[in-house]
Amino acid sequence: MSHIRRTLFACAVVLACARAQNLTDDQLDAVKSNLMQGAKQSWELGTESEALTELDTPSYAVVNGSSVPPPLGSAPSSLGEVLTIAKNVVSSLSISSNNPDAPQPLDLPSGGAAGDSASLGFAVLLANWTGQGASDNLDYAAAATAQLNWTLTAVPRTSDGAISHRIEQVELWSDSVYMVPPFLAYYGALNNNQSLLQEAHDQISLYRNYLRDTNAGGLWKHIVLGNQSQVDNGHWSTGNGWAAGGMIRVLGTIQHSEFSGKMKNQIKDLISWTSEIHDAMYPHLTSDMLFTNYADDSSTFQDAASTALLASTVYRLALLGGVHTHVPLAERCRQALSAPLNNSTSSASSSQAAVQRRQASTSSTDRPGPSAAHSPSSSSVSHSPSSSSSAAPSATQSLAHFDGAMWLTPVPNPDAWSEAGQHSPEGQAFVLEMYAAWRDWVAAGAPGANTAFALRAGGVGVLISLATGALLGVGWL
């Protein structure tokens, strides 16, 4: 066999293996469809709006290098699903014409969780920025400001200023870092208000002081203060993911805002604090490349949701902070989550092609807890854009960590974090965030994948990571 034939044969083998470790476009679309149908509670919808923006309209996301604020003018069609969330949220509010900015949340706190409604603020701010009120006569600016005022003035705080995750008493939850600080930062960036960017940083700093457990290698506790029956000093993996994800979003917002030069120390803090969580979490990966529900408690069930969320933050930190320490492990986690059952080889097109198609389309258009914490309520906001009305397509093959309808598994119960669940909308969002982050990381040249080799033949090149076996790129070289 000639050298060229041997090289092409090796390329074909590697490509087959890579395809078996990536989700296809159809599979990702099914994950997205399930998310859109399943998200009902405020924190689920807030997480959905972030995931869909990162996946479908990255130039409007704060995490991929685009400027903040985003471009003025009409929103691209790819933002339609996010704007539908905002429309349904704001249309359900009663805004006083005499005092439109009077403090009120975007959604009534589900079971008393004050932090969750702030997660809706990102979509509402985007709707206002892109001028949606001119077409539907909704006051998105007033709604966002009312939420801001409610968070800053009505929600209780600790004596040193940490905003509670709950309304009836002061409790600090790791979940809240994903819900509140990113909203404060985005509002500040869009309104030329550096003090709100600083407040977002300071809230994370305060939460870190309370929740980071130095006796557990820097893992974050889940819940402190408040009702002792609610306190959870355990190191919930999704909670650590929520915290890292919130830090990444605030980091991206500050870094891409006009205040980045004035807030270099805050940027360094956020890079360091995110790295702390990664350094604490990744030593606890199981041999299956998943975290357990409580990171340092191997008796708890394995959790694909936190594994996906944390992987997304590793890719993002590689791009935003130049930290590549855990990229090989994140790649192995992504591959494990995407693997076929029994590791059979897929005949479907690889997700690398999906990356290229999504890049082309976007460039042209551009809490879990017990019932008292995240219980369904009659005031919960839902959405039903036409694209989500049909059933999710079935997976084209059996996958190790998705059921036949492409629901991620195993996952915590969204309404009872210590129990295994069946369907988790937030878990679906984490998968989309992981793949959006991976796509952007690949497009940037896969920084940190420095142990790689290229197979070349006849001008065709395939770049493979030696550390992970991942397909990093295909093209004419």
Query: What is the secondary structure of 238-255 as a DSSP string?
Result: HHHHHHHHHHHHHHHHHH
**Strand 411-413 to 416-421 pairing:** antiparallel
DSSP state of 76: P
The b-or-e profile of 276-299 (16+ CB within 10 A means b, else e) is bbbebbbebbeeebbbbbbbbeee
pLDDT level of residue 397 (50, 70, 90 thresholds): low
Residues 251-294 have pLDDT tens digits of 999 999 999 999 999 999 999 999 999 999 999 999 999 999 99
Helix (H), strand (E) at residue 264:
helix 264-281
What is the rounded average pLDDT for all residues in the chain?
84
Residue 217, pLDDT > 90, answer yes
pLDDT score at 2? 54
Counting Cα atoms < 13 Å in the Cβ hemisphere of 455 gives 22
The set of long-range contacts for 4-7, using a CB threshold of 8 Å and a minimum separation of 24, is: 4/457, 4/458, 7/455, 7/456, 7/457
Query: Could you identify the residue written with the tokens 């409007």?
Result: 60
Whole-prediction pTM value? 0.84
Domain at 25-341+399-453, CATH class: mainly alpha
pLDDT level of residue 446 (50, 70, 90 thresholds): very high
Give the helix ranges, DSSP H, for 92-139: 121-129, 133-136
- Say how far apart CA 133 and CA 437 lie, in whole Å: 31
Query: Could you identify the residue written with the tokens 């932090």?
Result: 115
Tell me if the bond preceding 410 is cis, omega within 30° of 0. yes
Residue 391, pLDDT > 70, answer no
Least confident of 128-142, 191-205, 443-457: 443-457
